[in-house]
A and B are shown apart, each in its own frame.
Chain A
Amino acid sequence: MGIGSRIPRVDAFEKVTGRARYTDDFQMPGCLYAKIVRSTIANGKVLSIQTDQARQVEGVVEIFTCFQVPDIQFPTPGHPWSVEPAHQDVSDRKLLNQRVRIYGDEIAVVVAKDPLAAKKAASLVEAQYEEYPVALTPAQAMEPGFPAIHEEKPNNILAHSHFQQGGVPFEEAAAQPGLSLVSGTYQTQTVQHCHIEPVISSAYMEGSRIVVVSSTQIPHIVRRVVGQALGVPWGRIRVIKPYIGGGFGNKQEVLYEPLAAWLTLQLGGRPVKVELTREEIFSCTRVRHAIEFQLRTAVRADGRLMARKFTAWSNQGGYASHGHAIVANAANGYRHLYQDEQALEEDAYTVYTNISSGGAMRGYGIPQLCFAMESHMDDVAAAIGMDPVEFRLKNCMRQGYVDPGTGITCYSSGLRECLEKGMEAIGWKEKRLAAKDQNGSLRRGVGMAMFSYKTGVYPISLETASARMILNQDGSAQLQLGATEIGQGADTVFTQMAAETTGIEESQIHIVSFQDTDVAPFDTGAYASRQTYVTGMAVKDTAMQFKKKLLEYAGWLLKRPQEELDLRHGKIVEKTDGSPLLTLEELAMNAFYNLERSVHITAEATHHCKDNTFAFGACFVEVEVDIPVGKVKVLKILNVHDSGVLINPQLAEAQVHGGMSMGLGYALGECLRYDAKGRPLNGNLLDYKLPTAMDTPELEADFVETVDPSGPYGNKALGEPPAIPVAPAVRNAILNATGVALNRLPFDPQSLVETFTEAGLIERREAEVHV
């Protein structure tokens, strides 16, 4: 039991029997269905809307347009609220918008008795627009004279941040004699989370209060934002979060809960469901930001980094959502993993455009950064003829590092060991050598990439979590949290933590999986790979208190000093030799019903976390490139992680597999494409190439277990990191195999054939462009 054991997931039984209830399984009797009417332009203003024809559809209850919603702008990202106005999230949208900024923006909503009537009626709502030009990229949106997408930002730059360290400007440091200068432009694409459960929420009223059931990672934040969006006191909102079918950051966003809540408020409290189609999820929820990086580096012949310059433009899409935080995180990550001897200059821009809004997605800017940075580091190593791993080890973050920007400290690092394990497993030296001088159409190569990743959001934002334990009559206990299970296994590892610290076995700890903001302790939710670290500390504090109270009561009951007692494997025992004295059931029955002293034993603690630490890892890949048809076959792929102590190694491995698969999709094919008018071309699961089982190789996960002194159990971030290093590792392996550097994601077959043709690996045949 406890930390390090491979216990099965606590929710597995519910899930394999189909009994696990998700948001759509909570349908209220008499539920109405909402269908959103979406703009058919990507940039402009709604002039008028006609609903007469739509109202004729049988089953339509009501239609609301953008001219009827409250004039309240609200923020949507799942950040802890900031009490300082300067740090508050950007409020740049309403429930329905007259000023539309993306194709498919919400301009009206139909509520009907059945989904088909709602859909039919929505298709009959007509709107007239004033149209503006469409910007798909930051460059287009920043062109002089391009109309402001949000009037608050006339040049469409949502934010710009600058960072400099080393005291010397980059140009000056780079101009010193004897340095090699390497520069590159690296471009990442727009991708989507593709949680299999759709975006869905429903709302109804109980008395004067609004109840929202939602597939969300952040129930307590949903409550706050619903309150803000509707102008309703937050205490009148109750949010229930059932099991959720994946989130990956898209549900670290308050998407349609405010609309559902407002609709029920308009309709006398009748239940209303808002469920999006897959197509709507692709274009109208959130995506991973496409970011362009320009990197310049001056390096000494011995491999030491002297100076670097970083410039990045992040494509925000139509609404701010998490906004600049993403590319700012990328800039921080660039600073963290490698250290320059003399200078580092960073500029990051976030720019509004008219594509789908960028938000949080597993890794929060670091997968984009890692692609650019780790591609670039291979290019730099190649420029000075150094082995890429040796080069990295010479310049990477070491234990004891303190980030000058945030104070985040590297308390533990297994990065070197991760690299050693990876090299050994992939056969690095031999295969790098064997890759030289190939000339067939099938070529093999190996590549790698590494990363560092913070654990949680401190000190950029608040980190706070709380937990509660309650004793039952049979000696078992409830564990209640505001932190959420979203598939990653949080409930299981929290149970293990509580077992470890209390001495009560996992089978006797009943975690309350569903968050109901009326009773769940406060926690900001599942994001930033924070829960095992931040919430974990709250669980530990709570469990310690709970155990202390149990021992105190046992001492009273046994008439013994509590210092002589311990709680092990669910029994009160002699501390010295472990001999049993009392079962927890006996203790609990007394605590409940003893006529002399009845105490309902509970414990609750808040952990306000003011610390952070770095997790590390690397990906090693061997590929075979089929040059004439542009296909990359992954022959072997291995992620090695230092996430500190593993709470549950089996679930940790599973988490790594999923991240690797997401990383492979990012590398080899996923890309949400738009036409010139900003309409998504492939926003469905057929045309958007999420990898199937046949596209996925065997995934190998390995670990280096450091013991991080700042983590509650020596643990640090694991949830997001596995997705981070895969794409650049694949890129570097293709470079090793073919000599061709690919600097634009994804490496889909057509892009590969085009690049290989430019590089002369495929014969160019002008003649065949016949008519």
Chain B
Amino acid sequence: MLEIIRMTVNGEPVELAVDPRESLLDTLRQRLGLTSVKRGCEVGECGACTVLVDGQAVDSCIYLTMWAAGKHILTVEGLMGPNGELSPIQTAFIEEAAVQCGFCTPGLIMTAVEIVGTGKRYTREELRRLISGHLCRCTGYQNILNAMERIVEEAYKKCGA
């Protein structure tokens, strides 16, 4: 039996009928077509399905959609500017060659959004810890950390100025 829930997804209010057994991952992919949200393990181990719920990174595969009622959900689809311009985080991922197969990329970018959102400065070691909920087999995390370090620094300087 479906239930109606309301939430905000990528800045837009959404009202939709969902099955209470759905994970947020199911809902975002199947009902809203937000295919940046990737299914990798279904148990919160790989981080490929990471989205922000009220600004906090969660594994959407182990988050029931019913819990999202009234909340703000952000996925990579919601990051681009009004004219299709990339966010600085996305640009950093491209320029630092932090992308390979791309399957972990959207989730990592969402974690980056959460990190940058704190406005704090982090050391490289702290950043390692902050991205440790994402598994990546292609990059050894090296260029991902380079991209993270760069955007955190950019954001910090912007805030500081």
Contacts from A to B (Cβ < 8 Å): 8-9, 11-22, 24-25, 116, 193-198, 243-246, 248, 277-278, 486-489, 650-651, 653-655, 657-662, 684-686, 690, 692-694, 696, 698-699
- Nearest neighbor of B30 in chain A, beta-carbon distance: A27
Contact B35 A685, beta carbon cutoff 8 Å: no
| Chain B residue contacts of A685, Cβ below 8 A | 41, 43, 45-46, 135
Q: Determine if B141 is an interface residue (Cβ-Cβ < 8 Å).
A: yes
Known contacts A196-B38, A196-B46; 18 further A-B pairs (Cβ under 8 A): A9-B94, A17-B77, A20-B102, A25-B35, A194-B135, A195-B103, A245-B40, A245-B102, A277-B42, A487-B103, A654-B97, A661-B137, A662-B140, A684-B45, A693-B129, A694-B132, A696-B140, A699-B140
- Contacting pair B139 A658 (CB below 8 A): yes
With A16-B76, A487-B138, A658-B138 in contact, is A693–B128 under 8 Å at CB?
Answer: yes
Q: Is the CB of B139 within 8 A of A654?
A: yes
Across the interface, do A195 and B46 meet the contact criterion of CB distance under 8 Å?
A: no
Please report the C-alpha to C-alpha distance between residue A373 and residue B105 in the assembled complex, in whole angstroms: 37
Indicate if the CB atoms of B137 and A246 lie closer than 8 Å: yes
Q: Are B143 and A8 touching (Cβ within 8 A)? A: no
Main secondary structure of the interface of A (DSSP, over half): loop
Whether A15 pairs with B38 at a CB distance below 8 angstroms is no
| Complex interface bits, B68-84 against A, C-beta within 8 A gives 1, otherwise 0 | 00000001110110000
| Alpha-carbon gap, A426 to B72, bound state (A) | 49
| Chain A, residue nearest B34 (CB) | A18
Sorted nearest first, the 5 A-B pairs with minimum C-beta distance are A18-B36, A487-B101, A245-B103, A661-B140, A15-B102
The residue on B at minimum CB distance from A248 is B137
Contacting A at CB under 8 A, from B29-52, are: 29, 34-43, 45-46, 48
Shortest C-beta distance, A168 to chain B (Å), equals: 45
Total chain B interface residues with beta-carbon distance under 8 A: 53
By the criterion CB–CB under 8 Å, are A693 and B75 in contact?
no
Nearest residue (CB) in A for B44 is: A686
Q: List 21 A-B contacts (CB under 8 A).
A: A8-B95, A11-B99, A11-B102, A13-B86, A16-B76, A16-B105, A17-B80, A18-B34, A18-B77, A193-B137, A195-B103, A196-B103, A196-B135, A243-B101, A278-B41, A487-B100, A487-B102, A685-B46, A686-B45, A693-B128, A693-B141
Given A16-B90, A197-B103, A488-B100, residue A245 in contact with residue B142 (CB < 8 A): no
Which residues of chain A come closer than 8 Å to B38, judged between CB atoms? 22, 196-197, 245
**Best-surrounded residue of B41, B43, B75, B133 (most CB of chain A within 10 A):** B41
Pairwise interchain contact B137-A196, C-beta atoms closer than 8 A? yes
* Most chain A CB atoms below 10 A, which of B75, B127, B132: B132
Q: How far is the CA of A25 from the CA of B100 in the complex (A)?
A: 18
- Of B21, B35, B132, B145, the residue contacting A18 (CB under 8 A) is B35
With A196-B46, A696-B141 known to touch, is A12 a contact of B99 (CB < 8 Å)?
yes
Contact of A658 (CB < 8 Å), options: B46, B76, B90, B137: B137
Asked if A196 meets B101 with Cβ closer than 8 Å, knowing A18-B76, A18-B77, A662-B137, the reply is yes
Total A-B residue contacts, Cβ distance less than 8 Å: 170
- B116 sits at the interface (CB 8 A): no
Q: State in angstroms the CA–CA spacing of A492 and B127 once bound together.
A: 29
A486 proximity list for chain B (CB < 8 A): 101
Q: How far is the CA of A653 from the CA of B138 in the complex (A)?
A: 12
Cα distance A692–B141 when bound, in Å? Answer: 8
In the complex, the answer to whether B104 meets A196 with C-beta atoms within 8 Å is: yes
Nearest chain A residue, comparing its CB with the CB of B138: A658
Which of B29, B43, B80, B134 is A684 in contact with, Cβ under 8 Å? B43
Let me know if A17 and B76 touch, CB within 8 A. Answer: yes
| Those of B78-122 within 8 Å (CB) of chain A | 79-80, 86, 90, 93-95, 97, 99-106, 109
Chain B residues contacting A22 (CB-CB under 8 Å) are: 35, 38, 103
Smallest CB–CB gap between B9 and chain A, Å? 13
Q: Quick check: is B136 within 8 A (CB to CB) of the other chain?
A: yes
Chain B residue contacts of A686, Cβ below 8 A: 43, 45
**Given A17-B90, A699-B140, do A692 and B102 touch, yes or no (CB 8 Å)?**
no
Q: Across the interface, which residues of A come within 8 angstroms of B90, CB to CB?
A: 16-17
Are A658 and B109 in contact (CB-based, < 8 A)?
Answer: no
Q: Is B131 an interface residue (CB 8 A)?
A: yes
- B135 partner, pick from A16, A489, A654, A692, beta carbons under 8 A: A692
Known contacts A194-B135, A245-B38, A685-B41; decide if A15 and B105 are in contact (CB<8 Å): yes
Q: Is the CB of A197 within 8 A of B75?
A: no
B140 touches A658 (CB 8 A): yes
B94 with A196: CB separation less than 8 A: no
Beta-carbon contact of B101 and A195 below 8 Å: yes
Q: Give Cα A194–Cα B43 distance, bound, in whole angstroms.
A: 15
Q: CB-CB < 8 A to A690: which residues of B?
A: 135, 137
A694 and B102 in contact, given A196-B137, A278-B41 (Cβ under 8 angstroms): no
A252 to B76: give the CA distance in the assembly, Å: 30
Report the minimum CB–CB distance from B46 to chain A (whole Å): 6
With both chains docked as a complex, state the minimum distance between the C-beta of A564 and any C-beta of chain B, in angstroms: 40
Most interface-central of B37, B39, B104, B138 (chain A CB within 10 A) = B138
Contact: A12 with B93, CB < 8 Å?
Answer: yes
Contact status B143-A246, CB under 8 Å = no
Neighbouring B residues of A654 by C-beta, 8 Å? 97, 100, 138-139, 142-143
> When the two chains form their complex, are residues B140 and A660 in contact, meaning their CB atoms are under 8 A apart?
yes
Contact A694 B128 (CB under 8 A): yes
Q: Kindly list chain B residues whose C-beta atoms are within 8 Å of the C-beta of A8.
A: 94-95, 97
**CB-nearest residue of chain A to B26:** A115
Instruction: Pick from A17, A20, A194, A244 the residue with the most CB of B within 10 Å.
Output: A17
Query: Which residues on A sit within 8 Å (CB–CB) of B137?
Result: 193-196, 246, 248, 658, 661-662, 690
Contacts of B143 in A (CB 8 A): 653-654, 657
What A residues does B140 contact at CB under 8 A? 657-662, 696, 699
* Cβ–Cβ < 8 Å partners of B102 in chain A: 11, 14-16, 20, 243, 245, 487
How far is B97's CA from A9's CA once the two chains are assembled, in angstroms?
7
A8, B95: Cα distance in complex, Å: 6
Task: Give chain A residues whose Cβ lies under 8 Å from the Cβ of B145.
Answer: 693
Q: Tell me the minimal C-beta distance from A477 to chain B in angstroms.
A: 23
Q: Bound complex: CA of A19 vs CA of B33, how far in Å?
A: 11
Complex CA distance for A24 and B28, rounded to whole angstroms: 13
Chain B residues with CB under 8 Å of A698's CB are 142
CB distance from A282 to the nearest CB of B (A): 11
How distant is the Cα of A124 from the Cα of B39 in the complex, in angstroms? 25
A17 to B35, CA, bound (A): 10
Kindly report which residue of chain B lies nearest to residue A243, judged by CB atoms. Answer: B102
Across-interface contacts of A487 in B (CB, < 8 A)? 100-103, 138
Are the CB atoms of A198 and B134 closer together than 8 Å? no
Q: Which residue of B has the minimal Cβ distance to A114?
A: B19
